[in-house]
Amino acid sequence: MRVFVTGVDGYIGAVLAPYLLERGITVIGLDTGYYRDGWLYSDNRRLAATPHTLNKDLRAVTAADLAGCDAVVHLAELSNDPLGQNNPEVTHRLNHQGSVAFAREGIRAGIRRFVYSSSCSVYGAGSGEFLDENARVNPQTAYAECKVLVERDLAAMAGADFSPVLLRNATAFGPSPRMRFDIVLNELCALAWTSRRIVMTSDGSPWRPVVHVEDICEAIYRSLVAPEDAVRGKIFNVGQTSENYRVR
């Protein structure tokens, strides 16, 4: 299988690419390359293999770039609420419109499987009950709104020759060559390491679903290799009840 991974040099992508390569999948990467010098490690030669990567904007990708690929894993977006809220119009243009246009190029190229990295943030402020994939969405930010819209538009494209899979990831944590310290558990670890103290900035009442980055990679891998009829147009929460926490 030949898989085109967007955001391959990001926090999840930098873990996902070797994860897939180790399982016999050929990976073609896409990344803007804005942070190519920001690896946590001195270089990425520690990996057994690295993917061939195109350095270009997602919105510039054409069907020709996807030629020969069987599937897509789409990670590349403005990746958090504060960044998205900085300019909601730009966020919608990149995350929603850009993602849907990219999926259409995938269909033109004959891509059969399209795994989209969505987010549990689509549920917004819940009432305390457990939420499954059939729960009502209640996005609170431009970032979450775009996730809902992309899910809607990809699901509408599903057909015999195109199988979108929509993964609503909990908040990721864990080490990555392209480390992020703006997500809750990683941030707490960074505070503990650098200042020897952890400062709480919330009242501890919200529940925070979290999931290890390698579990996200496993969910993506299984979405790629599962029978098409089992996953076509389906939404899957990626996380588990035992990893829902209050930060207090």
- Give CATH for domain 2-174+210-243: 3.40.50.720
Instruction: Find the angle CA(215)-CA(216)-CA(217) to the nearest 5 degrees.
Output: 90
Q: What is the spatial distance between Cα 22 and Cα 78, in angstroms, rounded to a whole number?
A: 28
Cα distances (angstroms) measured from residue 8 to each of 27, 53, 54? 9, 8, 10
Handedness of CA 75, 81, 86, 88 (dihedral sign): positive
Specify whether the CB–CB gap between 80 and 182 falls below 8 A: yes
Q: Are 28 and 3 in contact (CB under 8 A)?
A: yes
Calpha distance 45→198 (Å, rounded): 34
Please give the Cα distance from 223 to 246 (Å, whole number): 29
Reading the block at residue 9, the tokens are: 């040099």
- Given a contact cutoff of 8 angstroms between Cβ atoms, the answer to whether 207 and 246 are in contact is yes
**Least confident range of 16-30, 39-53, 126-140, 181-195:** 39-53
Closest CA to 154 of 235, 40, 218: 235
pLDDT band at 46 (very low <50, low <70, confident <90, very high): very low
Question: What's the pLDDT at 184?
Answer: 85
pLDDT at position 247 is 76
Tens digit of each residue's pLDDT (9 = 90 or more) over 214-234: 999 999 999 999 999 999 999
DSSP state of 162: B
pTM value is 0.92
Q: What is the pLDDT of residues 66-90, one digit of tens each?
A: 999 999 999 999 988 788 888 999 9
**Distance between CA atoms of residues 16 and 8, nearest Å:** 8
**Cα 207 to Cα 140: distance, rounded to the nearest angstrom:** 16
Q: Which residues contact 25 (CB under 8 A, 6 or more apart)?
A: 1, 2, 3, 221, 224
Residue pair 120/168 in contact (Cβ under 8 Å)? The answer is yes
How many whole angstroms separate alpha carbon 113 and alpha carbon 165? 7
**What are the extents of the domains in the chain?**
2-174+210-243
Using one digit for the tens of pLDDT, what is the confidence trace for 2-43? 999 999 999 999 999 999 999 999 999 999 988 777 666 555
